[in-house]
Amino acid sequence: MRHIIPSLVALVILCSVASAHQDTILKLQDGKIIGLPEKYLPASFDVSELSLSLADKRLVLPEVIRGLLIDDTKVDPFADKPSKAIRPCKFSFSASWYHGSMSDLPPYILISIVPEGAACRIELLIDMDNPKFLRADLQIEGMPGVPIDLDGKPDNP
């Protein structure tokens, strides 16, 4: 019993430390992402191009994401080149770069996109050390997230 109590106390402390992790909320101000460590600067997000830049590395959101954000009210079906105007969206950013060995995830940035008037959001999880997509989901209220296939390849069972 003497050895069990210290082990339980250590387990409780470890669990509370592990669950205490929260992403750092970032701000988008004039295209610049504010709140990241020096290693990832300069950091910016271009809303019109739908591109993320971290430490001079650029990642453009794939066409499938752009397709989900097209403003259908501005598409002229009779135009030679239909408009690909992006509907107004709310973008929010958070990141984690300090979770260390307690996580299998690399330092990441999470971009949440909520199209105006939609009851859903798109969440993009991006590796900050080597900008690439780790995960993309469509989140609909009251339902589990639906993965978005970014590369167009079928999933293997």
pLDDT tens digit string along 68-106? 888 766 666 676 666 667 889 999 999 999 766 667 889
For the record, the structure tokens of 7 come out as 């082990």
**What is the tens place of the pLDDT at every residue in 126-142?**
999 999 999 999 998 88
Number of domains in the chain: 1
Determine, yes or no, domain membership for 85.
Answer: yes
Residue 154 to residue 72: CA distance in whole angstroms? 27
Determine, yes or no, domain membership for 37.
Answer: yes
Q: Residue 137's closest CA among 153, 152, 151, 123?
A: 123
Residue 31 to residue 34: CA distance in whole angstroms? 9
Asked if the model's pLDDT at residue 27 lies above 90, the reply is: yes
Determine, yes or no, domain membership for 7.
Answer: no
Q: How many CB atoms lie within 10 A of CB 132?
A: 12
Q: Residue 91's closest CA among 71, 110, 111?
A: 111
Determine, yes or no, domain membership for 54.
Answer: yes
Determine, yes or no, domain membership for 60.
Answer: yes
Determine, yes or no, domain membership for 82.
Answer: yes
Backbone phi, psi, residue 134, to 5°: -95, -35
Determine, yes or no, domain membership for 14.
Answer: no
Asked if the model's pLDDT at residue 117 lies above 50, the reply is: yes
Domain containing 85 equals: 22-147
Omega cis (within 30) before 77: no
Determine, yes or no, domain membership for 153.
Answer: no
